[in-house]
Amino acid sequence: METREPIVSAEWLHSNLANSDIKVLDASWYMPQEKRNPLEEYQVAHIPGAVFFDIDQISDPTTDLPHMLPLEEAFAAAVSVLGIQNTDSVIIYDGKGLFSAPRVWWTFRIFGHNKVWVLNGGLPHWLKAGYEVEATTPENVTLRATAVRKAIKSIYHGQYVGPATFKTNFRPQMIWGIEQVKQNMTDKTHQLLDARSKGRFDGVAPEPREGIKSGHIPESKCVPFTEMVDSSSLLLPEDELHKKFSQAGVSLDNPIVASCGSGMTACILCVGLHRLGKLDVPVYDGSWTEWATQPGNPIHTLATD
């Protein structure tokens, strides 16, 4: 498989599913207002052999911000519990098509694993193609989730967890913090792309998280993540992706950093940019949830621009 290409098709995965070095992860995650439980849905139906990757669990437990990047030791311990090794080719999917899986794809890449791809169209496209799914017992899921939770907790308490089957190689250039975003407002070295909807970006639609005002970081550009996919949640071909970024006033010749509500859908922009040859685009991990809740940060809206 070509590592320049960030996706694989359902047809390809179905043909290669039996390969011992193919590991499939169900990385489904939903906004609270959707009232969907990804773990319960995984138990009922998932791609055969797939393991559930809990985005909220495999994250930094020391912050109030949602699903922030964990310590590399914690990530290594967690994915080792899931049975993943550095020699494996990891295929990630989600229950919406192309929504939360890119976040886990980006996470593997930031920790040095290039052999990782997103399943194009996710579980809906797999089912549409007529491929089989399987169920699993709650006991098996609970045992694995408990082991992952214990491994992460131990790492953050300075306790030894080992030996890990997965070794990390952290790429700090792929993640931005709030101070880098603030500095960029002065230096303007990177184009800051916001993957949220135009309404939230403009400050005319509410944020899904209670108590957070909508609007955007000054100088940022709005490229909604929904612009990266077609009506079937399949990643757009290169020429159409080029058009979407061009229409948003984005220059692919200049550096880019991606943002969104909480570091989730920004990674969909990264998948689209990866297809266009812009590899390792950094993500502002705290994104709008962090920016809008810290006092003193400037917030622009349609009325102020």
Phi/psi for 104 (5° steps) reads -75, -35
Residue 149 CA to residue 137 CA, distance in Å, equals 19
> Under a CB-based contact definition with an 8 Å cutoff, are residues 282 and 173 in contact?
yes
222 is catalytic: no
How many residues would you count in the chain? 305
> Which residues 6+ apart lie within 8 Å of 90 measured at CB?
23, 24, 25, 84, 108, 113, 115, 116, 117
Nearest to 200 by CA among 178, 233, 230, 222: 222
Q: Which of 222, 260, 267, 270 is catalytic?
A: 260
Please list the active-site residues. 260
